[in-house]
Chains A and B, each alone.
Chain A
Amino acid sequence: MELFTLVAGLFLPWLLGVVWLRAPWLRATGVTWPTLLGYGYLGGILLTTLVMRLLDALGIRLGFFSIGLALLLLIVAGVWFGRGESWRIRRPGADWHSLAGWRKVVYAIVLVAIVVRLAGLGLEIMWRPLFPWDAWSQWATKARVWYELGHLAAFVPADVWLSGELTGAYTDAAPHYPPAIPLIQVWTSYSLGSWDDTLMNLPWLLCAIALGLAFYGQARQWQVPPLFALMFTYFLLSLPILDVHVALAGYADLFMGAFYGLAAMAFFHWTRKRDFWQGAMALLFGLGCILIKQPGIAWALTFLPALLTVFMPRAGLVGTSVLAAAGVATLFVLGEKDFHLFGYHVHLRFAAEWQPFWQNMMVMDNWHLLWYLVAAALVLSFPRLLAPSFRSMTVLLFSAISFLAVVFFFTHVQAWTEDYTTINRALLHMVPMLLFYVMVLFWEAASLPMVMTTRRKLT
């Protein structure tokens, strides 16, 4: 029974996401299965947390049956709405069959490497009790309380708690953080039928799987060949820091990276062909970032300059550049200042320390060869980065980099880069998006008409 409810708990959100992302008004006509499954899980799990918040707001006690029933009804509704949509399923392994010769072998090896990696990470989740710091100081604390109480008790700052002004209020290291991550753990715990701070983290494995599926699916929808797409999916899922965040589950950063990555990939597609489904996904997952973690607000805002350049290519680019320059100048003028933003206390202070970045990105094995690939892609494609087909993608990338640059070089967070506590976790948020961008640059470079002409002349 426990196994059944656990499986139901893991896959009901997935089914929910899949059926609703096929709703007729989203016009999911050209969406492939990996894309639908990838977006489906992450969309579904976020929708599950919203359902839980709604039930709580209605005064309904949270539990497996109350939440499960609500999800089931939503799934039935989603199926009913999408009943007119055809389910065109390609033959399993169609990509593999389409390959010739040695490519088939390489494809199989890379696929096996991915499966072995995910299986190992899954076992690590299943065996190891809650391990990393923030997981037990600010996320699972809420999950434990809400699971036992059956409602979303308020979490308040320590001084408020100590004053006793709010009876029944709780406190932890980050009371202002959004509830999505703990609610994912709560739902899995209800599925288990008991508190278990090991198995409640299985959604982190599903998040990685969904991210990989979405990445591969979106790459294939970009017309990237199967082997090239799988190679970059492998690059993504083999990144040591990403793997650590699956194995030592309980942090929000993997979900943050997945949501931002899925939003960005959909945005890239939308800028290319104005596909309605992709536009809707960019919007939904971009907004979803806000529900995952406080920095998600800033990540969502990074889409605005890119969106501006979509509608006003030249004016948007010039306007964004002027605003960015003015912003940097303002930061220098402000000097040292203190203020509160999104629940954080921010101390403005300029200090550029590059050594931690060099060490963490290029020397230590946190990212394998990712940053070398990024450098190579940017150098090789430099003349075309602001060409119409890449402009808004590049602006999104530079918006994301600018956000991190401001945080790392103009605020007190600079101190956290020196002890390496924040660099890689913050970079993880933008890496799925970045890797997709790099893959597109490489692929488009290899498909350039100029090169094709050269080939014709030379061969």
Chain B
Amino acid sequence: MSIQLEPHSIPSKKILRQEWLVAPLLFFASALILSLVYLHYNWPGKWISNAKPLSWNGAALTLNKGQGYSDQGKLVIKGLTDQGIAVASLSPPVFQAKDYPIIIWSASGATPSVEMEFLWRTTDNRVFMRPLVWANNTLEPLEIAEDENWRGQIIDLTIIVKGTLAAPILVNDVSLESASLPKTLANMVKKWFALDPWQGTSINFVNGDAIDKNVSPVLAIAAIILLALALNLILAITKIIPLNIAMVGGMVLLGWFILDVRWQANLFQQLELTHQQFAGKTWEDKHLSAEDGALFDFMRKVKAKLPPATARILYFSDGAHSRGKGAYYLYPHNVLVRNDLPPAPQIKTGDYIALFAKKGVKYDRSHQLLMWGDGQSLKVDLLFLSEGNALFKVR
């Protein structure tokens, strides 16, 4: 075994030309080995599947409960039962669950008031259920292979709609994706680069919601580097290649770089969203375009009613976010923000009271009285009222 450190001597330059390739080769060999090991223990079906994808259009479903009809190959669910459900089922030719790790229900027309579930029946007459998730006005593909009950032979597929229908739901088709290595690998790559957008918690930790929780990228890359280093050591002991510090550094840099490519891709996707939402707008228009634009708009109208001189404003809201952010929008006015109104004697004549999404406070218009808590009340003038949110001036 030989150890080489930078800088290299001139005779070793020839070896170096090959060595700079060794680091990435070892890294990718290690990645391949660990991927195969992972797939061996986690792969739900055959590596190369002979099963062909299965698909049925919506009209093939039978509506067992609820009101609806078939039209142009689709199932239209236009009404629910008195219990608030609709059930549509399909009895396909018997198939092996393990051949089909992904099921895709293509449907449209759902609103937040609607929940949907997928049920399946096996040949031993057992029924299992998984909820379906709506995203971007469509149902997300269901990775059913990860459900331990998705096994054996399947004889029935059923969809259940619950809640309140604002509009008919159209079930276009249902398809079962066959298990195959290329598709799974493509899915893994897609997940790797899935957008993890900014959230309120992003300042504290990188959420990683979009990432496959079974395989942490950081742990995976760390394991790959460790194995690559072990391979490097074995090759050095067997005198196939020398042990080179630069190669070790190269492998670490490569691992870091791969993690960072994923992070950079996420930042690019986020930047595109940010650009679409805010670019080219004034700072006020940006706030109006933000998720809490309604709060900003309310506070803007409140500020228009306030005198330019610094008056005391007491602002109350039940939500932590609307409380803190609403107060921020009220500055540079002299604002105090609280969840609950203080005892009436602590509020002075001339103070302003702003309420946003605040329960437990009543305004008696005829007596111009603001009432809250345990018999607390104040004489006030109503200056602004909008959708239950208001601004008052204390008399």
Which residues of chain A in 120-168 are interfacial with respect to chain B, using CB atoms and an 8 Å cutoff? 120-121, 123-124, 127-134, 136-137, 140-141, 144-145, 147-149, 158, 161-164, 168
- Smallest CB separation, B242 vs chain A (Å): 8
Contact pick for A368, options B3, B218, B271, CB 8 Å: B218
B residues in contact with A123, CB < 8 Å: 271, 274-275
> Is there contact, CB below 8 Å, between A144 and B267?
no
A residues in contact with B227, CB < 8 Å: none
Interface centre among A102, A248, A369, A425 (most CB of B within 10 A): A369
Contact pick for B20, options A102, A197, A420, A421, CB 8 Å: A102
A-B contact pairs, 8 of them (CB 8 A): A110-B253, A124-B274, A132-B200, A137-B328, A363-B218, A373-B252, A447-B5, A459-B3
A195 and B205 CA atoms in complex are apart in Å by: 29
> Is there contact, CB below 8 Å, between B205 and A424?
yes
B residues in contact with A132, CB < 8 Å: 200, 202-203
Residue A327 lies at the interface, judged by CB distance under 8 Å to chain B: no
A residues in contact with B1, CB < 8 Å: 458
Q: A158-B336, A446-B5 are in contact. Are A365 and B263 (CB under 8 A)?
A: yes
> Is there contact, CB below 8 Å, between A248 and B198?
yes
Q: Mark B263-286, 1 if CB is under 8 A from A, else 0.
A: 110011011001101110011001
Work out how many contacts link A and B, with CB atoms closer than 8 A: 184
A168 and B225 CA atoms in complex are apart in Å by: 60
Residue B186 lies at the interface, judged by CB distance under 8 Å to chain A: no
Residue A198 lies at the interface, judged by CB distance under 8 Å to chain B: yes
A235 and B263 CA atoms in complex are apart in Å by: 13
A173 and B321 CA atoms in complex are apart in Å by: 13
B residues in contact with A141, CB < 8 Å: 327-328, 331
- Smallest CB separation, A8 vs chain B (Å): 20
Q: A120-B267, A127-B278, A363-B218 are in contact. Are A238 and B283 (CB under 8 A)?
A: no
- Smallest CB separation, A90 vs chain B (Å): 21
Q: A116-B264, A128-B278, A369-B256 are in contact. Are A363 and B204 (CB under 8 A)?
A: no
Q: A238-B256, A369-B255, A446-B5 are in contact. Are A129 and B283 (CB under 8 A)?
A: yes
Residue B348 lies at the interface, judged by CB distance under 8 Å to chain A: yes
- Smallest CB separation, A240 vs chain B (Å): 5
Q: A127-B279, A369-B259, A372-B222 are in contact. Are A421 and B204 (CB under 8 A)?
A: yes
Which of B's residues lie within 8 Å of A, judged by CB? 1-6, 16, 20, 198, 200-206, 208, 211, 216-219, 221-222, 225, 245, 249, 252-253, 255-257, 259-260, 262-264, 267-268, 270-271, 274-275, 277-279, 282-283, 286-287, 290, 310, 312, 324-325, 327-328, 331-332, 334-336, 338, 342, 346, 348
Which residues of chain A in 424-459 are interfacial with respect to chain B, using CB atoms and an 8 Å cutoff? 424-425, 446-447, 451-452, 454-455, 458-459
Residue A391 lies at the interface, judged by CB distance under 8 Å to chain B: no
B residues in contact with A231, CB < 8 Å: 249, 253
B residues in contact with A455, CB < 8 Å: 2-5
A106 and B279 CA atoms in complex are apart in Å by: 34
Residue A225 lies at the interface, judged by CB distance under 8 Å to chain B: yes
A196 and B201 CA atoms in complex are apart in Å by: 24
B residues in contact with A244, CB < 8 Å: 202-203, 206
Q: Which residue of A lies closest to B324 (CB)?
A: A137
Contact pick for A158, options B255, B282, B338, CB 8 Å: B338
Q: Which residue of A lies closest to B346 (CB)?
A: A162
> Is there contact, CB below 8 Å, between A363 and B249?
no
A134 and B249 CA atoms in complex are apart in Å by: 38
Residue A317 lies at the interface, judged by CB distance under 8 Å to chain B: no
> Is there contact, CB below 8 Å, between A458 and B216?
no
Q: A102-B20, A117-B264, A136-B328 are in contact. Are A248 and B271 (CB under 8 A)?
A: no
Q: Which residue of A lies closest to B19 (CB)?
A: A102
Q: A102-B20, A129-B278, A162-B346 are in contact. Are A451 and B216 (CB under 8 A)?
A: no
A219 and B59 CA atoms in complex are apart in Å by: 69
Which residues of chain A in 186-203 are interfacial with respect to chain B, using CB atoms and an 8 Å cutoff? 195-199
Residue A5 lies at the interface, judged by CB distance under 8 Å to chain B: no
Contact pick for A171, options B203, B253, B336, CB 8 Å: B336
Contact pick for A168, options B203, B310, B338, CB 8 Å: B310
A residues in contact with B211, CB < 8 Å: 365
> Is there contact, CB below 8 Å, between A149 and B218?
no
Contact pick for B260, options A134, A248, A368, A459, CB 8 Å: A368
> Is there contact, CB below 8 Å, between A364 and B271?
no
Residue A349 lies at the interface, judged by CB distance under 8 Å to chain B: no
- Smallest CB separation, A121 vs chain B (Å): 8
Contact pick for B324, options A173, A247, A446, A452, CB 8 Å: A173
Contact pick for B219, options A106, A163, A363, CB 8 Å: A363
- Smallest CB separation, B212 vs chain A (Å): 12
- Smallest CB separation, B17 vs chain A (Å): 8
**Interface size in chain A (residues, C-beta < 8 A):** 80
> Is there contact, CB below 8 Å, between A364 and B205?
yes
> Is there contact, CB below 8 Å, between B287 and A459?
no
Q: Which residue of B lies closest to A424 (CB)?
A: B205
Residue A251 lies at the interface, judged by CB distance under 8 Å to chain B: yes
- Smallest CB separation, A362 vs chain B (Å): 7
> Is there contact, CB below 8 Å, between B328 and A198?
no
Given contacts A123-B275, A128-B286, A241-B206, 17 further A-B contacts (CB under 8 A): A116-B264, A128-B274, A130-B328, A133-B324, A144-B328, A145-B332, A164-B348, A168-B310, A198-B286, A244-B206, A251-B203, A363-B218, A369-B222, A369-B225, A422-B204, A446-B5, A446-B6
Contact pick for B203, options A120, A127, A162, A248, CB 8 Å: A248
Residue A228 lies at the interface, judged by CB distance under 8 Å to chain B: yes
A459 and B15 CA atoms in complex are apart in Å by: 13
> Is there contact, CB below 8 Å, between B332 and A149?
yes
A120 and B263 CA atoms in complex are apart in Å by: 12
A199 and B286 CA atoms in complex are apart in Å by: 12
> Is there contact, CB below 8 Å, between B203 and A170?
no
A149 and B5 CA atoms in complex are apart in Å by: 62
Residue A320 lies at the interface, judged by CB distance under 8 Å to chain B: no
- Smallest CB separation, B247 vs chain A (Å): 12
> Is there contact, CB below 8 Å, between B274 and A127?
yes
Interface centre among A145, A162, A235, A421 (most CB of B within 10 A): A162
> Is there contact, CB below 8 Å, between A425 and B221?
no
Q: Which residue of B lies closest to A251 (CB)?
A: B203
Q: Which residue of A lies closest to B280 (CB)?
A: A127
> Is there contact, CB below 8 Å, between B206 and A364?
yes
Contact pick for A446, options B245, B262, B268, B310, CB 8 Å: B245
A residues in contact with B342, CB < 8 Å: 162
> Is there contact, CB below 8 Å, between A459 and B2?
yes
Contact pick for B206, options A171, A196, A366, A425, CB 8 Å: A366
> Is there contact, CB below 8 Å, between A162 and B336?
yes
Q: A129-B290, A158-B336 are in contact. Are A140 and B328 (CB under 8 A)?
A: yes
A325 and B256 CA atoms in complex are apart in Å by: 37
B residues in contact with A116, CB < 8 Å: 264
> Is there contact, CB below 8 Å, between A248 and B202?
yes
Residue A113 lies at the interface, judged by CB distance under 8 Å to chain B: yes
B residues in contact with A247, CB < 8 Å: 198, 267
A residues in contact with B16, CB < 8 Å: 101
A residues in contact with B290, CB < 8 Å: 129
Q: A129-B287, A424-B205 are in contact. Are A364 and B253 (CB under 8 A)?
A: no
A residues in contact with B346, CB < 8 Å: 162-163
Q: Which residue of B lies closest to A421 (CB)?
A: B204
Q: Which residue of B lies closest to A146 (CB)?
A: B332
Q: Which residue of B lies closest to A369 (CB)?
A: B256
